[in-house]
A = this chain, B = another copy of it.
Amino acid sequence: MSNPVRVGIAGLGTVGAGVLRLLVANAEVISARAGRAVVVTAVSARDRTRDRGAALDGVRWHDDPVALAADPEVDVVVELIGGADGPARALVEAALSARRPVVTANKAMLAVHGASLAAAAEEAGVALAFEAAVAGGIPVIKTLREGLAANRITRIAGILNGTCNYILSRMRAEGRDFAEILADAQRLGYAEADPSFDIDGIDAAHKLAILAALAFGRPVAFGAVHVEGIRGVSAQDIRFAGELGYRIKLLGLAHATAAGVSARVHPALVAEDAPLARVEGVYNAVVAEGDFVGRVMLEGRGAGAGPTASAVVADLIDIARGRATPVWGAAGAALSDAPSVPIADHMGCYYLRLMVVDRPGVIADVTAVLRDHGVSLESMLQRGRAPGETVAVVLVTHETREAAMAAALERIAALDAVLEAPTMLRIEPA
C-alpha cells in the first residue's frame, strides 16, 4: 500500500466535524477502497477548544485557512468554510496555484466562480472535487459526470433544498400556512434563523447551476438561472393543486432545447404519481433524462453531517486512487457554448389562482383576455358560490409561452373584479 493521503481541512463546523469522525470511524474500509490511508494532518477553524467528537492530537493547526495551501504536510485541501468569496475562495485559489487537489462542499463558490476555478484546476492539472456541493450524500455529481457520461442529457429535475421540501411537505400534510410552518421549522432546526437563502431559492439555484453545467457540458452560469422561492406558496394553492391531482414542490429544472439551455428554480405543480412528487420531508432527489439511458432518479438525504461527510470522503478516495475528471466533465476547450434561454421563452402549462368578486361576467372577462393572448384553458375550478363576495377561481392552461402568460396576467390583474395579484405556478411533467 502506498503512502497515506494527507488531508488539511479548513472549517470544522457540522460538516467538518463529520468528516473528522468519518475518517476515524471507517478508516479501515476507506483505506481498502482508497488503496491508501486517508489521514487528517492539518486543520483550520475559529475555535480551538470546541469538542468535535474526534481527537485532533498531533494535527497541525492554522489560524489562517489559506496557510493550509502551503502546508508541506498537506496533499489535499478540503474547503468547508462556505461562502462564495472570502477565505473559502482565497484558500481554494491558493491551493490550486500550489497544484494541490481541492475537495469542497461550497455550492455558492462553484456556482459563482466555477468557471475560473475550473480553469485554475485545469491549468494546475489537479482535481477540484465537489460531490458534497449538491444533494448531500447522493452521488449526483459522479452520476452526471461519469455514470451517465455516454448520454446527451436532455433534462434535469430535482428537489435540491431540504428546508423547502420539508416546509412544503408539512404545509400539505397539515393544511397550514407557510409562515406557521417556517416558524416551527426554525424552532426544530430544519430552517435557519435567517432562512432567505433557502426559501428564496438561492441555495437550490446554486445547485441547479452546477447540475446544468455538468449535464449539458457548458460553463456554469448561475446568473442565467431564473429563481423564485416558496414564500408565495399558500395552503390554499396546495389544497387546490391536490384537488387537481398535483403536489407543489420547489424544483430545480434544466432543459436542453434547440434554442439553448433553460435553467430555473421555482415552486411547481407535479402530478402526484410522478416520482418527484413522492419525495417528502428533508429528502433530496434528482431526475436525469438521457437519450440512451432514459430516466434515472437518485434519492437520499440532501444535507446533514453524515451524508455530506460521505460525499467529501468519496472525493478524497477518488483523489487517493488517482481518478481524475475535469471539473465540468470535459476540458474547458471542449465545453459547449449553448446560449441560455430566458424564462420568457419557457413553454409549459400553468396553474392560475384568481381572487375575484363572484358576479356574472367575471369569468368571461378573464377568459377573453386569455384568448386574446393565445392561451387556451384545460380546466377551471371554482369552489362554492358567494354572490358579491370574494371567491377563488383556479384555471389550468394548455401549453403556452411564458411571455404570453405574463402579458395576459398583467391584464387580468388590472380587471376590476380581480381583487388580489393573481397566483401563477408552472406545471411540470416531472
Contact = CB atoms under 8 A, between A and B. Distances in A.
A147 B139 contact: yes
B30 A149 contact: yes
A39 interface: no
Contacts of A310: 148, 150-151, 290, 292-293
B25 A291 contact: yes
A33 interface: yes
Given A278-B278, A297-B299, A324-B323, A314 B26 contact: no
- Oligomer: number of copies: 2
Interface in A357-408: none
B139 A148 contact: yes
A309 interface: yes
A34 B297 CA distance: 24
A32 B294 contact: no
A245 interface: no
A430 B35 CA distance: 32
Interface stretch (A113-121, A171-179, A327-335): A327-335
Contact of A217 (B29, B152, B297): B29
A226 to B, nearest CB: 25
A314 B147 contact: yes
Interface in A16-33: 18, 22, 25-26, 29-33
A317 B150 contact: yes
| Residue among A143, A146, A301 having the largest count of chain B Cβ atoms under 10 Å | A146
Contact of A150 (B30, B149, B275, B299): B30
A292 B309 contact: yes
Given A26-B150, A150-B313, A294 B300 contact: yes
Interface string A291-330: 1111111111100101101111110111001111110011
Contacts of A145: 33
Interface of A: 18, 22, 25-26, 29-35, 131, 136-139, 142-143, 145-152, 217, 275, 278, 290-301, 304, 306-307, 309-314, 316-318, 321-326, 329-331, 334-335
